[in-house]
Each structure stands twice: as C-alpha cells, then as structure tokens.
A and B are shown apart, each in its own frame.
Chain A
Amino acid sequence: MTVLAMASRDAPKAAIEPPAASLRGVTRHYRFPGGAKTLHALGPIDLDLRQGEFFSVVGPSGCGKSTLLDVLAGLNPPSEGTASFEGKPIAGVPDGIGVVFQEDASFPWLTVEANVAFGLKRAGIGQAEIDRRVDYAVGFMGLRDFRQSYPAQLSGGMRQRVCIARTLVLQPRLILLDEPFGALDQQTRLIMGDELLRLWRETRATVLLITHSLDEAAMLADRVGVMSARPGLFIDIIETGWPSDRDSRIVADPRFGEMTGRIWEKLRTETMKHMQTQGAGPR
C-alpha cells in the first residue's frame, strides 16, 4: 500500500458500481464579447466515467475537449444538462478532483518542492504528512534532483511533471489531464505514458486524459472517446480491452496498430470536415 493509494477503492467491488462522474445532455455555449451571438462549443454529451477507468479523449483541435474538462472540474457550469461527480451534482470545484491543465501552470516563484506542496499546505495537512507525500510524488515524477530548482530552470516537460506531482499529492479520486505531454517528443511521451499508467494502477483513481496523440490514447486507455469537430460530440467510444498491467511495449502488438487504425479512421473524416469548415481552427 503506497502513500498515494486510495482507501475507498479497497472496498470490495459492488456488482454494479456507480459511475465516478457522469454527464447528461451537457452543452456549452460561449458568448462572444459584447454581442448576443454565441458559439456552440460542446455537446450535447452523455458520458459515464466508470469508477477507476482510464478514459482518453481525442478530437480535432478546437472541438471542445478543454471545455469538457472545465465542466467536469466544475470550473465552468454547463449551459444545458447536468454534470455530477460521485452522484452529487457538480457546482463549483468538487472535493476529490485533480486537474492538470493544458498550459504550464507551475508557479514560477516557488521551488519544485514548494510547488508540489502548494495544495497540501492550503488543505491544512500536517507537515510530516506533507513531507512524506511530496517526497513520494517528487520521486515518482523523476524530479528528485530538482527539488530546490525553480520552474524557469526546468524544461517544459519537467514543468508539466511538476504540475502532475502537485495534483497527485492531493490524492484526487478523479484526475483530469489536458494534453499534459504536449511539449514532449514521441519517445518521452511513451515513457511518461508508462509513468501515468503506473500512477493510475497505484492510485486506482479514475483518469480522464485529453490528448492529441492517437498512440497515447490507444495505449493508455481502457476506453477512447473520439470527438467530432465543434460542437464536440462523442462520435464513438472504443473499448481497447487492454490488460490493466499494460505498458508502452504494447505498441509493438499488432492489435495496437489495429486499434490506432480504428481511431484514426473515425478521426480522419472529422478532421477533414473541421479543416474544410474553419481552417486550422481558432485556437
């Protein structure tokens, strides 16, 4: 039993577990500044995240993936529909959800160590426990030699790992990751993917990962949600059927190629549609 393991998941599995989070008819419209016109960014979406699953989301740029994450995190209320976490409607950021944003969110004025401990200090956790968790997360993310460094002294990928560690130590039951390895090269992405799987197995948290990489989506997830161009809808949700002790070696498996092929087939039509209607997209 490790420091980051989740007590709640040790309970014997019920026959049908309630979903970790669920969305019902969720849409999101953004208002253009000043005008009465709105932009339909997302939905309507119905989605159940199963307790403890690894769910990845792929979709063309600007299709509303980050918007979806905002709704789940309670940062933005849905325009229509309902979102709930552990059976309770999401109003404001619920306790037990951790988010790693698409942009670098490490605090430049704090050391790596202080960054990672940031949320714990606020949560009023004892110093000994903070030290223990920070130590573990810093080691887990391979940042041990950089504990005293400032983000400006780290590479983009390392900063993103700081943000992951900062989220991890709070022991969230649902972890939302928005393109956390965007700044990394393919090889490092695969390695970080392994780390993420290790983390997921250890914490038994429910993970939702947004990614642009089909390989990453196919290799990491239990289920891959493929989104349409804006307004984002799930056009397909593909079960990968991988064993839970999978790792990046799976990319050599012929079934892996088949899987990415399937996802790409779905996405290709969507991406083409997207390019034709709005160029490369506003963001």
Chain B
Amino acid sequence: MSSKVLASKTMASKTLPSRTLPGEALRNIVPPIVLALVLILCWQGLHLATASGAISSPAATLARLVVLMGSGRFWLDVAETGTAFAWALVLSIVLGIGLGVALALLRPVGEVMEPILVTFYSLPKVTLYPLVLLIFGLGMPAKIAFGIMHGLVPITLLTRNAITQLKPVYLRTAKVMRLSAFEAVRSVVLPAIIPELVAGIRIGFSLSLLGVLIGEMFASKRGLGFTAVNAMGLGDLDTIMAIGVFLALFAVLANGGLLSLERAIRHRSAGR
C-alpha cells in the first residue's frame, strides 16, 4: 500500500516544476538548525542562571550521552524500552484502527463513545496506574498497557473521523462501478482515509512512547524510563538529561519522518 503511494508521489513530482533549487534546499534545512542552536543557547543560559547543578550544561549532557552510548547497559535499556514501545505502537495501531472502523460503522455507538474517548484522552493516565498494575503486575505487559492507553485513543478517534467524514460521493461512485464491498474498501475507502490514518499514527507514536516511559518509571525495573527515575534518586542529573536528549532526538526524527510521509500523501489531495 504505502509503496504504491510513494510510487505515485514520485510520479507526481515529475510533473511539478523542479523544486531542488539550492535556495529551496537551504530554506528547508536552515530553520531547524537555527532552532536547534537557539534551543541549545537557551539551555546553556538556563544552566548558567540556575544554582550550580540544577540543570546540566549541554556540554556535560553530551559527554554523559557519549559515555552512556558506549555502555552495554544503556543499549539493553534501549532494547527493553524499544520492545515495549514497538508492541504498544503496533497494538495501538491495530486496535485503534479496528475500533475506529467499528465506531464509524456503528454510528450511534460511535456518537455515544466519542465524547467518552475524548474525556479519557484528556485524563492524566497516571491516575489509572494502580488499576493497570493490579491487572498486569510489574513488567513488560504493564508497560505495553500504559503505552496503549496513551496511543490507542487518538488513533481510534482519527480513524473514526476519517471514515465518517468520507465524501459520500466516493462510495456512490464505487457502487455505480459495481465494486464488491471488499473492492470498495480496498480501492476507495482505504486510499481516501490513509492521510488521516497516518496523522493518527503519528500522534499515537509520540503518545505511546510517552506512555511506555511513564509505565517504566512506575512499573518496571528495566528500560530507559526506569534508569531515568533511578538516576533521579541518585541525583545523577547528567544521566537524566542525557536520556532525555536521546529520547527527544528519536521522537523528533521519527515524528519528522511520519510528518513528511503524511505531507507526501496529502500533497495531492489538498493541493500544492
């Protein structure tokens, strides 16, 4: 599916005027770099302004990150968190899309559920922590559950929304072409809602990562979340900051990738 989408995207860019002018490329690269520099400067400023040691300096954090990345323990943590996150994300996507489709098809149920889900979405999920722990105990399942609790709802809501907002004339066209229900879903409904789905997945991605980390802080003895909390107990500020920066970089890069995928898909539907 996505490879088809990408293929047609490259076909589209052929017909558009070339956008690979050097000025254009600079315009795309310069703002993020400037933003990063400003952020680092602010960070340094904060470090200098606060009492010594309250916030590590960018240099100290970077040094600590390099040391961490050289240690086997760190990568075990990354693997642990990564596994929980991958499960949480995949399950959030599968369940979220499934639930979203169901709520869109069962319109009355969907209309009742929507405000409930929105409320749940804005609720601090930490309040449900004891419940999750009671059900799953300590360890991987609890972390995954926490990730899903954060990631599932936005994917569900955006999927439902995408389907209910589908232009009726697309379905009428499918009917007039005498497509089977399966064919209509595959070649009309799915491509029509894919931009929304990617948007939902992008938001679910960030949130389920957040959920897994929170889960690790409370319900685990391993993973980056646990190590960060542990470092907090030891007053090891550099480690906390280094893990924070590592996660932030990962999240920003992944988000950027998904965002450009979403844009590439939307590009055609919404104009230039």
In Å, the complex CA distance between A160 and B22 comes to 38
**Residues of chain A contacted by B194 (CB below 8 angstroms):** 109
Is B176 a contact partner of A93 (Cβ separation < 8 A)?
yes
Which residues 91-144 in A have Cβ within 8 Å of B in the complex? 93, 95, 97-99, 101, 103-105, 107-111, 114, 118-119, 122
Task: Decide if A256 is an interface residue (CB 8 Å cutoff).
Answer: no
- Chain A contact residues (Cβ within 8 angstroms of B): what range? 20 to 34
Interface of B is mostly: helix
In Å, the complex CA distance between A95 and B175 comes to 11
Task: Decide if B11 is an interface residue (CB 8 Å cutoff).
Answer: yes
Is B176 a contact partner of A98 (Cβ separation < 8 A)?
yes
In Å, the complex CA distance between A99 and B169 comes to 11
Is B191 a contact partner of A149 (Cβ separation < 8 A)?
no
Is A152 a contact partner of B172 (Cβ separation < 8 A)?
no
0/1 interface trace, chain B 188-204, chain A, CB 8 Å (1 if under): 10011010000000000
**Residues of chain B contacted by A75 (CB below 8 angstroms):** 172, 175-176
Assess A111 versus B188: contact at CB under 8 Å? Given A75-B175, A93-B176, A152-B269: no
Task: Decide if A73 is an interface residue (CB 8 Å cutoff).
Answer: yes
Is A97 a contact partner of B176 (Cβ separation < 8 A)?
yes
**Residues of chain A contacted by B167 (CB below 8 angstroms):** 103, 105
Is B172 a contact partner of A107 (Cβ separation < 8 A)?
no
Chain B nearest CB from A182 CB (Å) reads 13
Task: Decide if B260 is an interface residue (CB 8 Å cutoff).
Answer: no
**Residues of chain B contacted by A188 (CB below 8 angstroms):** none
Which residues 128-169 in B have Cβ within 8 Å of A in the complex? 167, 169
Closest to A170 in B: B177
Task: Decide if A242 is an interface residue (CB 8 Å cutoff).
Answer: no
Task: Decide if A244 is an interface residue (CB 8 Å cutoff).
Answer: no
In Å, the complex CA distance between A118 and B170 comes to 12
Is A101 a contact partner of B173 (Cβ separation < 8 A)?
yes
Which residues 1-38 in B have Cβ within 8 Å of A in the complex? 5, 8, 11-12, 14-15
In Å, the complex CA distance between A75 and B175 comes to 8
**Residues of chain B contacted by A109 (CB below 8 angstroms):** 5, 8, 191-192, 194, 265, 268-269
- Residue of A99, A107, A114 near B176 (CB, 8 A) is A99
In Å, the complex CA distance between A153 and B191 comes to 18
In Å, the complex CA distance between A148 and B12 comes to 7
In Å, the complex CA distance between A111 and B16 comes to 13
Task: Decide if B183 is an interface residue (CB 8 Å cutoff).
Answer: yes
**Residues of chain A contacted by B178 (CB below 8 angstroms):** 93, 95, 122
Task: Decide if A264 is an interface residue (CB 8 Å cutoff).
Answer: no
**Residues of chain B contacted by A98 (CB below 8 angstroms):** 176
- Residue of A107, A149, A153 near B188 (CB, 8 A) is A107
Assess A111 versus B170: contact at CB under 8 Å? Given A93-B175, A149-B15: no
In Å, the complex CA distance between A103 and B12 comes to 24
In Å, the complex CA distance between A122 and B173 comes to 13
Task: Decide if B54 is an interface residue (CB 8 Å cutoff).
Answer: no
**Residues of chain A contacted by B169 (CB below 8 angstroms):** 101, 103-105
Which residues 147-174 in A have Cβ within 8 Å of B in the complex? 148-153, 170
7 A-B residue pairs with CB within 8 Å: A95-B178, A97-B176, A99-B172, A107-B173, A111-B12, A119-B177, A149-B15
Nearest first, the 5 A-B pairs at minimum CB distance are: A108-B269, A150-B268, A109-B191, A105-B169, A119-B177
- Known pairs A101-B169, A119-B177, A148-B15; list 20 more (Cβ under 8 Å): A73-B176, A99-B176, A104-B169, A105-B167, A105-B169, A105-B170, A105-B173, A107-B191, A108-B269, A109-B5, A109-B269, A110-B191, A111-B11, A148-B14, A149-B15, A152-B268, A152-B271, A152-B272, A153-B15, A153-B272
**Residues of A near any B CB (own CB < 8 A):** 73, 75, 93, 95, 97-99, 101, 103-105, 107-111, 114, 118-119, 122, 148-153, 170
